[in-house]
Amino acid sequence: MRQTTASTCCYCGVGCGVLIEHDETRIFDVAGDPDHPANFGRLCSKGSTLHLTGDLDARALHPELRLGKQLGRTRTDWDSALEHAAEIFAETILEHGPDSVAFYISGQLLTEDYYAFNKLARALVGTNNIDSNSRLCMSSAVVGYKRSLGADAPPCAYEDIEQSHCVLIAGSNMAYAHPVLFRRLEEAKARRPEMNIIVIDPRRTDTAGLADLHLAIRPGTDVALFHGLLHLLIRDDRLDQAFIEAHTQGFDALKVLAEEYTPTIVAELCGISVEALQRCARMIGSAPSFLSLWCMGLNQSTSGSAKNSALINLHLATGQIGRPGAGPFSLTGQPNAMGGRETGSLSNLLPGHREAGDPQHRAEVAEHWGVKQLPTSAGLSAIELFEAVGDGRIKALWIACTNPAQSLPNQQKVHQALAACPFVVVQEAFFTTETCRYADLLLPAVSWGEKEGTVTNSERRVSHVRRAIAAPGEARPDWAIACDFARRLERRLRPGQPSLFAFEDPEALFEEYKPLTRYRDLDLSGLSYRLLDERGPQQWPFPRDSSTGTVRLYRDGVFPTEDGRARFIAEAFQASEQDCDTRFPLVLNTGRLRDQWHGMSRTGTAARLFGHEEAAVLSLHPDEMRRRRLQDGQLVRVDSRRGSLILPARQDESLQHGQAFLPMHWGDRFLRGLGINVLTQASFDPLSRQPALKQAGVQVEAVELPWPFFALVEGQVQHRFEALRPLFEGFEYASFSLAGRDRAALVIRAATRSVPDAELLKVIDRLLNLAEGPVLAYDDAHRSVGKRVRLEHGRIVALRLAGETAASQWLKSLWLDGEIDPDLRRWLLAPLSTAPHGKRVENDRTLCNCMNIGQAAVHAGIAQGLDLAGLKQRLGCGTSCGSCVPEIKRLLAQAEAPIRV
Ligand code: SF4
């Protein structure tokens, strides 16, 4: 029987509520929860397609064990799998010490999962070697909040976005990365056009399209900019002296530092005009309320902590904190990175916003857990942890719900480390991730819709995540796997003692965890699953006996520091570590796309989500393209000090000279060559230890690969993907994607220097279902050109072009339309390789995923004089989730722009 379960979206830190329609075994649909205060019923293109993702063919369904690095994994049962893991971990710990093992976990885990892993690592194993992929995402914000305000607590609420008079967005393409919040901002701006929006971003993103002022600063110069703004606020007497005197300390030192950041110097450093800088300072200084939002552009930097503190300085100096519409507000990347920070899931933290390096904090947690002591040695952060795996210090590694073989920088090193590690356990929902290849033990975990627990979103709001359907195969909840393993390990490490992991369900973990937050800044002691069910999601602190959560922090100007005062941080701007030089002259920035999420383990299973961007493409300023004599779509080789990639390039006027951009999502699975992060650098911020994923020096040059290949095949997409991918190892370029809406197809684009072996093509054809049956074929051995199309029931179901691919878009459009062009047979059986005359089809990106509207239709509507309202009315685009609206506005603006001559 169909029913609806209220839960949350599993992607970003907005933490939208979703209503899952299901019958306890299958999920049929998803809708925004109108009662959830994060989204009030809205969902973005990712959230609204959740039910289309998570293809069972990509799911890990049974434990699998490998008993030798040269061997394949074979299916095993849970009991054998966890006994084996416990045996190896125990032996390693007893022989090499507790710091010879490590846990690398994820911002996608639920709070209860995190808590179980933390207790396992620190109380049982006795190591602080537990870090999470939040290290790549939010750790600079954590340092920023702690240093400036005394606790890792974002002080604002989403309603502040709607109430603010001036919103500054720094280093965040919020339109793509936090779309539902961006919708709320767009609506607020439409209601109150006098609201000022400032966007600081080297790229002119869709977010910048909403800005009254866009400062396209040089990458990495944010600290200079913020100090320059402070300089002007001081000069123009725009400070809140009463607030500074009553609630802060350290302003005098900062004032001296800010004197050096004159408008001329700052404008020069940042590559902007003095007028723009002054206008920005005026907007901030005159605003009754000033809110700042930021994300990876500040955090993923070797000066990420300094950037965070310099921005918070502006709020403290103007008293813009603890009031409606005001405050510094980080946009959390992952759905429960906040829960990870709360439970101590970075190596330097402990549960309840405590410090692993603080003896008092260690004693408090040890007492709560009933153990003598917690480990004193410093734990390794993500980059250091994988270095230690690489050099043999870590001998057993447990990875849960994350994909380091895609997401960490400097992937050559990461892949080498994983290959060399004596024992790698991967606890994953999808067996297809790059990291799973290295698993000696693969443990199937439940995924979205199948698990219960809690999450905290960016505004400190805790939601009850409810299970809708049963887990597929033998998949188990992450907390249950961690606790089952822990019970087996404690029988070996502390035999005869009562178990620390006798948890029956996630609620038991939550109940044990929440006293650790009592009387602390994040006090959750008043929350329970029951209360969340009765009263809905709540913002912490929510102390025992309270009737409601806390919308906004620091309303009284008292901060969780020893003296109750916030701190000004006076740190000079330091140019980031230079990865660029004459050999690698371009700065490579990486970031998100609208419809993909992280390493694509989930979104990469939904064909519809490839409609907007089908493949990884390097974006360059048109002048950089011209300088290298590159055409749109031409293959280029991108080199950094650490590795290289081959992929197509395209011009993009949103970038500045000297800059390049790549989407962060593509790993080795979808793009041959270890993925985007083979290029990025592992240098990290000295305080937050967050790597500078957004600033790599690269060199770009055209590459000649004269033998191209294109294929499309529908049916059994995941199986075909797994079987075909290894066959393209010998190709210099190979990109895999999905296409379609009602029917899904695997699409392969590849190119190589020399014609591949005929036998390899035969194998590929067999896997493409093109070796026999109703297949039309043409081969020209002399030109090494061949084409094959399989027709069934009057339509194309598979095709491939080899040696010449000029007709690929035309054929793909025929497949999408499900019709047979009368010219197809004639074309197929003749030497002609381009599409027949008049049939040339350009790749038409899907702009609006909800209504399936392509860019061509929008362009045509604009050419007929339609505005946004007219396009919405005529085509329906932008009327559902709204994720495409910023791009449609951009196309409208481009159409209005004067033609340059
Ligand atoms: Fe999910 Fe989109 Fe909401 Fe983020 S904004 S939680 S991805 S629906």
Q: How far is the CA of 593 from the centre of ligand 1 (A)?
A: 13
**Mean pLDDT, range 515-534, rounded to an integer:** 97
Nearest-angstrom CA–CA distance, 294 and 458: 11
Buried b (16+ CB within 10 A) or exposed e, 395-428: bbbbbbbbbbbbbbbbbebbbebbeebebbbbbb
Please report the pLDDT score of residue 898 as a whole number: 42
Give, for ligand 1, the residue of 10, 11, 19 to mutate: max count of ligand atoms closer than 8 Å to Cβ. 11
Q: Report percent pLDDT > 70 for the chain.
A: 99
| Nearest ligand 1 atom to alpha carbon 32 | 8
Residue 816 has pLDDT above 70, yes or no: yes
Q: How far is the CA of 769 from the centre of ligand 1 (A)?
A: 37
Q: pLDDT tier at 893 (50, 70, 90 boundaries)?
A: confident
Please report the pLDDT score of residue 421 as a whole number: 98
**Mean pLDDT, range 10-25, rounded to an integer:** 97
In terms of residues, how long is the chain?
901
DSSP state of 13: T
Tell me if 321 sits within 8 A of 327, measured CB to CB: yes
- CA-closest candidate to residue 136, choices 425, 402, 394: 402
**What residue's CA is closest to ligand 1, atom 2?**
44
| Nearest ligand 1 atom to alpha carbon 45 | 2
Per-residue DSSP letters for 297-362?
HHHSSTTHHHHHHHHHHHHHHHT-SSSTT-EEEE--SSTTHHHHHHHT-STTEETTTEETT-HHHH
| Nearest ligand 1 atom to alpha carbon 8 | 6
Quick one: how far is CA 270 from the chain centroid?
27
Ranking 100-104, 430-434, 749-753, 881-885 by mean pLDDT, the lowest is 881-885
Q: How far is the CA of 188 from the centre of ligand 1 (A)?
A: 19
Q: How far is the CA of 668 from the centre of ligand 1 (A)?
A: 26
**Mean pLDDT, range 674-680, rounded to an integer:** 97
**Is the CB of 11 inside a 6 Å radius of any atom of ligand 1?**
yes
- CA-closest candidate to residue 304, choices 330, 276, 339: 330
Task: Determine the 3-state secondary structure of 779 from DSSP.
Answer: strand
What is the rounded radius of gyration, in angstroms, for the C-alpha atoms of the chain?
27
**Mean pLDDT, range 167-185, rounded to an integer:** 96
Residue 842 has pLDDT above 80, yes or no: no
The residues near 197 (Cβ < 8 Å, ≥ 6 apart) are 166, 167, 169, 185, 189, 210, 211, 212, 213
Residue 183 has pLDDT above 80, yes or no: yes
Nearest-angstrom CA–CA distance, 819 and 797: 11
Please report the pLDDT score of residue 840 as a whole number: 63
Which residue stretches of 709-750 are H helix?
717-724
| Nearest ligand 1 atom to alpha carbon 18 | 8
Distances (CA, A) of 780 to 444, 583, 758, 784, 810: 47, 42, 13, 6, 21
Give, for ligand 1, the residue of 48, 52, 172, 180 to mutate: max count of ligand atoms closer than 8 Å to Cβ. 180
Q: How far is the CA of 96 from the centre of ligand 1 (A)?
A: 43
**Mean pLDDT, range 823-830, rounded to an integer:** 84
Nearest-angstrom CA–CA distance, 870 and 857: 13
Please report the pLDDT score of residue 819 as a whole number: 78
Buried b (16+ CB within 10 A) or exposed e, 328-341: bbbbbbbbbbbbbb
Q: How far is the CA of 177 from the centre of ligand 1 (A)?
A: 8
Please give the single-letter amino acid code of residue 333.
Answer: G
Nearest-angstrom CA–CA distance, 429 and 755: 38
**Mean pLDDT, range 31-39, rounded to an integer:** 97
Q: How far is the CA of 442 from the centre of ligand 1 (A)?
A: 29
Q: pLDDT tier at 899 (50, 70, 90 boundaries)?
A: very low
User: 333 or 122, which is more confident?
Assistant: 122
The pTM is what?
0.96
**Is the CB of 739 inside a 6 Å radius of any atom of ligand 1?**
no
**What residue's CA is closest to ligand 1, atom 5?**
180
User: 62 or 852, which is more confident?
Assistant: 62
| Nearest ligand 1 atom to alpha carbon 335 | 6
Q: How far is the CA of 8 from the centre of ligand 1 (A)?
A: 9
**Mean pLDDT, range 457-472, rounded to an integer:** 98
Residue 26 has pLDDT above 70, yes or no: yes
Nearest-angstrom CA–CA distance, 579 and 683: 10
Ranking 12-26, 239-253, 835-849 by mean pLDDT, the lowest is 835-849
Tell me if 166 sits within 8 A of 136, measured CB to CB: no
Residue 901 has pLDDT above 70, yes or no: no
**Mean pLDDT, range 148-166, rounded to an integer:** 98
| Nearest ligand 1 atom to alpha carbon 597 | 7
| Nearest ligand 1 atom to alpha carbon 179 | 5
**Mean pLDDT, range 849-860, rounded to an integer:** 88
Residue 875 has pLDDT above 70, yes or no: yes
Please report the pLDDT score of residue 815 as a whole number: 93
**24 Rama class: left (phi>0) / alpha (psi -120 to 50) / beta:** left
Q: How far is the CA of 317 from the centre of ligand 1 (A)?
A: 33
Please report the pLDDT score of residue 897 as a whole number: 53
Residue 269 has pLDDT above 50, yes or no: yes
- CA-closest candidate to residue 530, choices 510, 549, 512: 510
**What residue's CA is closest to ligand 1, atom 3?**
16
Please report the pLDDT score of residue 856 as a whole number: 87
Please report the pLDDT score of residue 900 as a whole number: 35
**Is the CB of 38 inside a 6 Å radius of any atom of ligand 1?**
no
502, two tokens: 């006798």
Q: pLDDT tier at 579 (50, 70, 90 boundaries)?
A: confident
**Is the CB of 180 inside a 6 Å radius of any atom of ligand 1?**
yes
